[in-house]
Structure 1
Amino acid sequence: MTIVLLEVPSGALADTIGRRRLLVVAGLCMLFEMALLLVAPIGGGWLFALFALNRVLSGAAEAAASGADEALAYDSLKAAGLEDQWGKVLERVQRDTSLAFFFAMMIGAAVYDPRMVNAVLQFLGASFTVEQAQLIKLPILLTFLSAVVVFCMSLRMKETPSGTERSVGETLSQSWRQTGAAARWIWATPLPFGIILAAMVLDSVVRQFLTLASEYWNVIDLPIASYGLIGSGMALMGLFVPRVARILAEKSTPLKNFLLTSSAVLIGLIGLGFAIPI
C-alpha cells in the first residue's frame, strides 16, 4: 500500500530534488526500518506497531528507489554517449544481484542455524554455545550493516544536472497526468494490457509460494541450514535467466513467451506437489 501511494509522488520528487537525493532518502529509510527490527522486543507489546512502521518505511524506501536508480544510471550513460549499452547494463545488474542474493542467502541461513554457528564456535575454540533464541536477530543485524553500505554508496553517487527547475506541485501534477495517460493507453491497447495481466497471474502464483517457502521446507522436514542452500540455488538462476529473457524478448512472440513461462511455473508446482517428507 505504501509503495502504491508513494510511487507517483516519489517520481515527482525525483524530478524536483534530484534522483540522487531520493536514493539517499531510500537508504535512510532502509537504515531505520532495519533498526526498528533490531530494537523491537521479542514478543513485546510494541512488536506489532514497530513491525507495521517497518513495513511503511520499507515501502517508502522501495518507492523512493523505484526507477530513480535506473534513471540515474541511464542518465549517466547518456551523458557519456553510451546509452546504447543500457540493455547490457541491466543484464549485468541482474547477474550481480543474483550473486549478491546467493551469498546473502548462504550467510543468512548459516548464522540462523545454531548447529552451524556452534560448529564454527567449537572450531574456533570457544567455550560457549548459542541457542536459536540468541540468533534470531543476527540476520537482521547483518541486513542492517548492508543497509549502511547502501546508504554510504548513495552518498557517493553523482547526478548530471538536468538544467530545468520545477516546483514539486508542477512535477507532481505532470506525473499524475502522465500516469493517467499511460493507464488509459494500457486499458485501450490489448497487447500491453494482456502482458500486464499475464505477468500478474504468474507473478502472484510464484510470490505466493516464495512467501510460504520456509514453511514448505519445514513441512517436508528439510533442515534449517538447507533453506539458504535452496535460496542460493534459486538466486544463481539469475546468472543466466536475464540473457535468456533478453533473447526470448528479441526473437520470440509474447504469446510463446507467456506459454513457455506458464509451462515452467506449472512444472515447478507439480514437482513441489510430489515432494515427500524425508
Structure 2
Amino acid sequence: MDITANLWKLYALRFFSSLIPAYVIERLYWEERGMTIQMVVYTEIIYAVTIVLLEVPTGVIADKWGRKRMLVISALLGCGEFIILLAATEFWHFALVVLLAGVSRSAGSGSENALLYDSLIVQGRASSFEKELGRLNVCDFVSSVLAALSGSLLASRLGLELNYWISLGSALIALLISLLLAEPSPNGRNASAEESIPFKRYVAESLLFFRTNPGVRVVLLSGMVTGTALGFIDEFWQLYANRLGTPVLYFGLLSAALMVLRMPGNLLVHVLLNRFSYRTLLITVTAVFAAGFTFAAISKNYAGLAAMLVICFFSGVMEPLAAGYLHHRIDSSMRATIDSFQSLGLNVFHIAAGLGFGYFSVRYDVFGGYGFIALLCAAFLGWLIVASHQTEKETKQRANG
C-alpha cells in the first residue's frame, strides 16, 4: 500500500473521529439521564484509571504488532460507545461507556503519533512532524467546530438524542477509514527483531530514556499538567455556561470558539520554536493557565468564559510542542511505547486533579472546581520556573564540558 497516502487518510480519520455533535450537549444529555457532577467525575476517574492500566501495554502492542491494528480497534470501540449511550439510563451504563472510551484512547493515543512520524520518515520529512501534527489538530478542531455548531442547532430544535445517532454514523465512517491505513516500515526498523523483544525490556528502556533526559521530563510534565487542566474546560464548560443561564442554542458557538482559538498555536508552533526557547513558551502558557483559571473561578460570570477562551488560545502550542520534543529524541522501535508513557502520565494527573475538582465542585459548584485547577497550575508554575532553569543550566554545562 502507498505510505504517502497515510497523511490524507490520517486527516480523514481525525475529521470523522471528531465530527461528533453529541459532544456539544454531552453534559446536558448525561445530566438529563440522571448523572450528577460527582457521578461524572467518577466516570472520568474510571476513564483515567483504564488508560493508566492499559496505556503502556497497548503502546508495546502497537510497536510489536502494528500501529494500524490498534487504530482500527480504537475506532471499533468508538462505535460501541455511542451504541451504548443511546440506551444509557443508569450509572453503570455510563461507566461502561467510559471504560470502552479508555480502552479506545489507549489503543489509539501512541499509535497515531507513531504512525504519523514513521510515515514522514519514509518520505524523508521527519523534521516536519510538529507542522503536520499541528495541521492534524486543526483538522480535528475544524471538524469539532462543525459538529458543535450543527449539534447545538439540532439539539435546540429536535432534542438531544438525535446528535448521538449522527455521531454513531460518523464513528462508523472513521472505522472504515482506519482500515485503509498502511503500516510504515522506516529504514533500520527490524520487524522480526521487534516481535522478539520482551515486554519488560520495552518498559525498562522507556523508563531509562526518561531518567537520562531531564529536558524531556520537564517538557512532558508541562504538557501533562496543562493538558489535564484543559481537559476540565472541555468536560465542564457546558455546566459553567449553563449556570450563567446561557441558552443551549449558543452552546455551539461557545464550543466552536473554544476550539478555533487553539488553531493558531497548532499552526504556528514550528515558527514560534524558531523565535523562542522551549522554556519561555512553557512558562508563558502555564502562567496564562494559572491566571485564567483563577479568574474563571472568582468571576462567576461571562468574563470567566472569556478567560477560558484566552486559555484555549495559548494552549494550542502545547501538544505539538511536547510531542515533537519527544519524538525527535526516540527510536522508531519504541515510538508508540514511549508516547504512551506520556499519555499515562497525563491520566495519572487527571485522576488526582479529578478528585480535587469533584470535591470542590460538590461544595462550591463548578466554580470551586475551577478554583482547585487554578491552584494546581500556580503550584506547577513555581516548580517549572525552578526546574527548567536548572535543566537549562545542566545542559549548558554538559555542552561546555
For this structure pair, what is the TM-score category when the shorter chain's length is used for normalisation? 0.7 to 0.9
Counterpart residue number, 2:107: 64
Deviations 1:124-165 (A, max 9, x none): xxxxxxxxxxx3322222221111011000111111356522
Paired AA for residue 86 in structure 1? F
Q: Which has the larger radius of gyration?
A: 1
TM-score, normalization: structure 2? 0.57
Paired AA for residue 63 in structure 2? D
TM-score, normalization: structure 1? 0.79
In the TM superposition, what are the counterparts of 1:155-234 in structure 2 within 5 Å? Answer: 155-161=179-185, 163-165=190-192, 170-185=197-212, 189=214, 191-234=215-258
CA distance in 2, matches of 1:53, 1:67: 23
Residue 63 of structure 2 corresponds to residue 36 of structure 1: no
Residue 141 of structure 2 corresponds to residue 93 of structure 1: no
CA distance in 1, matches of 2:222, 2:60: 29
CA distance in 2, matches of 1:21, 1:15: 11
What displacement does 1:168 show? 6.2
What displacement does 1:200 show? 4.0
In the TM superposition, what are the counterparts of 1:67-82 in structure 2 within 5 Å? Answer: 67-82=110-125
**169 and 113 in structure 1: CA distance in 2 versus 1, 3 angstrom threshold:** farther
CA distance in 1, matches of 2:227, 2:84: 29
**208 and 112 in structure 1: CA distance in 2 versus 1, 3 angstrom threshold:** same
Gaps of 5+ in 2: 1-48, 303-401
Residue 126 of structure 2 corresponds to residue 83 of structure 1: yes
Tell me, yes or no, if the aligned pair for 2:130 and 2:269 is still in contact at 8 Å.
Answer: no
Tell me, yes or no, if the aligned pair for 1:23 and 1:154 is still in contact at 8 Å.
Answer: yes
**166 and 55 in structure 1: CA distance in 2 versus 1, 3 angstrom threshold:** farther
Larger helix fraction of residues = 2
Gaps of 5+ in 1: 118-134
Paired AA for residue 108 in structure 2? A
Deviations 1:194-221 (A, max 9, x none): 4344444434433334322111111111
What's the secondary structure of 2:245's corresponding residue?
coil
Counterpart residue number, 1:136: 160
Deviations 1:2-22 (A, max 9, x none): 111111111221122211111
Pick one of 30, 53, 56 that aligns with 1:5: 53
- Identity, % of aligned positions: 24
CA distance in 2, matches of 1:103, 1:244: 22
Residue 151 of structure 2 corresponds to residue 103 of structure 1: no
Equivalent residue pairs, number? 251
CA distance in 2, matches of 1:192, 1:84: 18
**81 and 31 in structure 1: CA distance in 2 versus 1, 3 angstrom threshold:** same
CA distance in 2, matches of 1:196, 1:167: 26
Tell me, yes or no, if the aligned pair for 1:3 and 1:59 is still in contact at 8 Å.
Answer: yes
Residue 192 of structure 2 corresponds to residue 149 of structure 1: no
What displacement does 1:166 show? 5.2
CA distance in 2, matches of 1:194, 1:12: 24
